[in-house]
Structure 1
Amino acid sequence: MTKALAPVANALLKAARAAGADAADAVAIDGRSISIDVRKGTLEQAERSEGVDIGLRVFIGQRQACISSSDTRPETLEAMAARAVAMAREAPEDPYAGLADTAQLAMLRSAEGLELFDPAPEPDPATLQEDARRAEAAAQSVKGVTQVQSASAAYGSQAIWLAATNGFQGGYGRSSRHISCVAISGEGTGMERDWCGEGRIFQADLPDPESVGLLAAERAVARHGARRPKTGAYPVLYDERIASSLIGHLLSAINGSAIARGSSWLRDAMGTQVLPKGITLREDPVRVRRSGSRPFDAEGLQSRVKDLVADGVLQSWVLDLATARKLGLESTANAVRGTSAPPSPSTSNLILTQGDKSREDLIAEMGTGLLVTSLIGSTINSTTGDYSRGASGFWVENGQIAYPVNECTIAGNLRDMLTRIIPANDARDHLSSVVPSLLVEGMTLAGE
């Protein structure tokens, strides 16, 4: 599957050289997907897409330009290369742009051993429709559910090939299978919704549709009768479903693009405490059978395990080649890209140290506070780390869940919040972000 893309990528490189490019890289992606939505037991929507997308980046000295297309005819490749070279000649010089040196290139250039692609046959639409129907029926059977907003099943596969004039050639395939359900309890202005979604690389690993529908329904029913909570300073427990968003703000702050611009609230934090002692944030992009895994990054550098934070202390920025050069450092092999833009730094497969207590233990210990299960909107000051988000979930009194809440805002400063997190032990290992529920003391809560 991936090998079929190699001739296209190499034809782009040849055309770029012929058009006058000093160097170039090309990416080709062959993707296909099918999605089925069911409502009231019958098919509501079916979507299928498939096609090849190609992208070319050319260099004229220190000037670069990118161009993309979905047409792989030889005449189109030649026209793409000519336009890209013409664009690069007019682009401003970027002293940090350029391909990787040959010595930096990955030795492993396939996903052999990572189990990123399910060899089982692609499911037919009838199979996906039946999965969605079963999830919907299970949700509808739960007392208190007034309607099922949606039930869906989907399959996707993708082949990727990267080639460059520095000698890199490599590619891999990946697949995915999903089931999701959104249930509603209550009527009119008293309606509350919640959801459940499960995804796996291998179809055989996917939970049965009934478990997805039942959990979505139970969550929606538990939210019935939600009201605004009290205003004040309280502990806030981020449920495992949304706790990774808190760590995501840390990752944004240590992203090389933000550091190079000087616009991060952690721009001067290297080597300092950013999480509590004893907590490590590890990136492992080569975990077997995980959706975020990859054998190499978008610039052909070897993916590798690294601790971004060790024992609470910040160890590394997240860098691609360009941001590393700007900062006088080495790339951390974190480049990602699409077909129409240059690479940029990003992370995959994160693992945060878990605690020794369950979510229920933390609820019991927090006394009075808020368990957050859903976040909406956000106001994050990237320079200061000031944080404010809309939230809903459950009010906790005397260490027990008292009632569901909505229409409230939680606020604080990320640097202070992250150094106070207390992790539970409930992270789901199959996810690409393995982050447990996180308790943060002393948050500001605006409710009634």
Structure 2
Amino acid sequence: MSQSLEELTHALMFAAKKAGADAVDAMAVKGTALSIDVRNGVLEQAERSEGIDIGLRVFTNGRQACVSSSNTSEQTIEAMCERAIAMAREAPEDPYAGLADPDQLADMRSAEGLELCDPTPEPDPAMLQEDAMRAEEAALGKTGISQVQSASAGYSAREIHIATSNGFSGGYQRTDRAVSCVAIGGTGAQMERDYDGDSRIFQADLRDAADIGATAAERALARMGARKPPTGSYPVLFDERISTTIVGHLLAAINGASIARGSSWLRDALGAQIMPEHLSIIEDPHRVRVPGSRYFDAEGLPTQKRAIVQNGILTGWTLDLANGRKLDMPSTANAARGTSAPPSPSSWNIAITQGSKSRDELARDMGTGLLVTSMIGSTINATTGDYSRGAAGFWIENGEITHPVNECTIAGNLRDMLMHMTPANDARSYLSRVVPSLLIEGMTLAGN
């Protein structure tokens, strides 16, 4: 490729304006991904992909259309623009679609200072294979582990550039490095499995592969001999590994697209108390070395730190420009997009207030109940907030873990769950979603 991503986006804009567009935004993404899987000490699969994707959104006479391609030739760009204009002319009018006003645009147009890209060289396949093999070897080294379902290592790098005809042009680079392992203990009908993994922006921050494999094995072995828990109403302690799903349901419910459709279980809760008053949820898109960080969103608006929930009170929705206009509210600079679709609201880095007690201390306080370490399936009613999920973990009796459990269902209503939530202090601060283990009182368990 002879052109930079910035040059590509500007070429797209110029061609679209020449073809008759009233306004344009363009996006270009260059990516590299490498993944290695091993099994039984030998390479099982190796994949590498490289490519450039370009996307174009045009506006004409109150209508919009999006097109994308992985071909960056001049002929393809001209054809894309002509097709986009033709599509827009056939699209229905959308009074809410459109670019930002120029005075709304971000001044910061890179990711300087956020440390989203590791400057060290891309790891070679042999290095990734060694990490995956070390994870597998460590897992198999634990007595009782019968096999390793998967041991993987991967690397990816992306460069993104966005340009709009109202005067914005900005981009940034991102890298990711990951190792994971899934171990299986026992044989036949008595097999149990569990996992561990780590993903970081910087290679130097990544946990040791052998530690990941050993932890996966220890977790699998701890689940051996699992049985169903009793049916009834009990407190449930969501382990830190999965507690983020609870906050994820809240974030989905305050997404501006759901609110504008009237299909959210929190659609009438703006300004109302939805969590205990000592808890808050803060969104901060400017944290260093965190995947969800950025200085501008997909529409060129400046991101900023904000309280989503302040002292238990829901303070606002998550909005892009279009959904903000539908709700007669300003965008919260939360627009995200790919090359083939228009922007939509998305949350950046969030953190919930942490408690003063460890997970084990919360377990002792809960007396008798369920510690959930994994979940499967999901029945979440987006309109009512009714919640039901399959779960596995450990039974707690008199504050102590007594045995592993599986094949049970936990159920409740998300409104009630949020109001009866107590956080631990064990959240991992380097994650995009900093959520500790969460104790929720009065949930319904279906087991024996």
Give me the TM-score of the superposition, normalised by structure 1.
0.99
Q: Quick one: distance in 2 between partners of 1:266 and 1:149?
A: 40
After superposition, the Cα gap between the structure-2 partners of 1:384 and 1:2, relative to the gap in structure 1 and judged at 3 Å, is farther
The residue number in structure 2 matching 1:332 is: 332
Q: Quick one: distance in 2 between partners of 1:302 and 1:143?
A: 53
Aligned: 1:285 with 2:276: no
The residue number in structure 2 matching 1:77 is: 77
CA shift for structure 1 position 440: 0.3
Q: Quick one: distance in 1 between partners of 2:120 and 2:45?
A: 25
Q: Quick one: distance in 1 between partners of 2:325 and 2:391?
A: 40
**Alpha-carbon displacement from aligned partner over 1:253-273 (angstroms, at most 9, x marks no partner):** 111001001111111101111
Q: Quick one: distance in 2 between partners of 1:174 and 1:252?
A: 25
User: Which amino acid counterpart does residue 171 of structure 1 have in structure 2?
Assistant: G
The residue number in structure 2 matching 1:404 is: 404
The residue number in structure 1 matching 2:93 is: 93
User: Which amino acid counterpart does residue 41 of structure 1 have in structure 2?
Assistant: G
Give me the TM-score of the superposition, normalised by structure 2.
0.99
**Alpha-carbon displacement from aligned partner over 1:176-230 (angstroms, at most 9, x marks no partner):** 1000000001111211110001011010111111110011000000011111111
Query: For residues 24-423 of structure 1, what are the structure 2 equivalents within 5 Å?
Result: 24-423=24-423
Question: Aligned to 1:442, what secondary structure does the other structure show?
Answer: strand
Question: Aligned to 2:4, what secondary structure does the other structure show?
Answer: helix
Q: Quick one: distance in 2 between partners of 1:378 and 1:418?
A: 18
Q: Quick one: distance in 2 between partners of 1:301 and 1:210?
A: 43
Q: Quick one: distance in 2 between partners of 1:231 and 1:136?
A: 37
**Alpha-carbon displacement from aligned partner over 1:279-315 (angstroms, at most 9, x marks no partner):** 1101111100111111210000111111000001001
After superposition, the Cα gap between the structure-2 partners of 1:44 and 1:343, relative to the gap in structure 1 and judged at 3 Å, is same
User: Which amino acid counterpart does residue 189 of structure 1 have in structure 2?
Assistant: A
The residue number in structure 2 matching 1:22 is: 22
**Alpha-carbon displacement from aligned partner over 1:46-97 (angstroms, at most 9, x marks no partner):** 0000100010000012100000000000000000000000000000001100
Q: Quick one: distance in 2 between partners of 1:253 and 1:165?
A: 32
User: Which amino acid counterpart does residue 363 of structure 1 have in structure 2?
Assistant: A
After superposition, the Cα gap between the structure-2 partners of 1:255 and 1:2, relative to the gap in structure 1 and judged at 3 Å, is farther
**Alpha-carbon displacement from aligned partner over 1:229-278 (angstroms, at most 9, x marks no partner):** 11000000000000000001111111100100111111110111111111
User: Which amino acid counterpart does residue 262 of structure 1 have in structure 2?
Assistant: G
Question: Aligned to 2:126, what secondary structure does the other structure show?
Answer: helix
Question: Number of residues paired by the alignment?
Answer: 448
Question: Aligned to 1:117, what secondary structure does the other structure show?
Answer: coil
**Alpha-carbon displacement from aligned partner over 1:125-175 (angstroms, at most 9, x marks no partner):** 000000000010001111111111111000000000000100100000000
Q: Quick one: distance in 2 between partners of 1:328 and 1:378?
A: 33
Q: Quick one: distance in 1 between partners of 2:296 and 2:36?
A: 32
User: Which amino acid counterpart does residue 353 of structure 1 have in structure 2?
Assistant: T
**Alpha-carbon displacement from aligned partner over 1:300-355 (angstroms, at most 9, x marks no partner):** 01111110000010011000000000000000000000011100001021100000
Question: Aligned to 1:12, what secondary structure does the other structure show?
Answer: helix
After superposition, the Cα gap between the structure-2 partners of 1:2 and 1:291, relative to the gap in structure 1 and judged at 3 Å, is farther
Q: Quick one: distance in 2 between partners of 1:370 and 1:144?
A: 25
Aligned: 1:4 with 2:4: yes
Q: Quick one: distance in 2 between partners of 1:14 and 1:207?
A: 46
Runs of 4+, deviation exceeding 2 Å = none
Report if aligned partners of 1:2, 1:171 keep a CA contact under 8 Å in 2.
no
User: Which amino acid counterpart does residue 359 of structure 2 have in structure 1?
Assistant: R
User: Which amino acid counterpart does residue 447 of structure 1 have in structure 2?
Assistant: G
User: Which amino acid counterpart does residue 13 of structure 1 have in structure 2?
Assistant: M
Q: Quick one: distance in 1 between partners of 2:124 and 2:158?
A: 17
User: Which amino acid counterpart does residue 9 of structure 1 have in structure 2?
Assistant: T
Q: Quick one: distance in 1 between partners of 2:351 and 2:176?
A: 21
Q: Quick one: distance in 1 between partners of 2:294 and 2:220?
A: 36
**Alpha-carbon displacement from aligned partner over 1:370-403 (angstroms, at most 9, x marks no partner):** 0001111111111111110111111111101111
Aligned: 1:436 with 2:436: yes
CA shift for structure 1 position 3: 8.5
Alignment RMSD, CA only?
1.1
User: Which amino acid counterpart does residue 428 of structure 2 have in structure 1?
Assistant: R
Report if aligned partners of 1:2, 1:172 keep a CA contact under 8 Å in 2.
no
CA shift for structure 1 position 2: 13
Q: Quick one: distance in 1 between partners of 2:76 and 2:203?
A: 37
Report if aligned partners of 1:25, 1:164 keep a CA contact under 8 Å in 2.
yes
User: Which amino acid counterpart does residue 390 of structure 1 have in structure 2?
Assistant: G
Q: Quick one: distance in 2 between partners of 1:269 and 1:261?
A: 15
User: Which amino acid counterpart does residue 194 of structure 1 have in structure 2?
Assistant: D
Question: Aligned to 1:132, what secondary structure does the other structure show?
Answer: helix
Question: Aligned to 2:282, what secondary structure does the other structure show?
Answer: strand
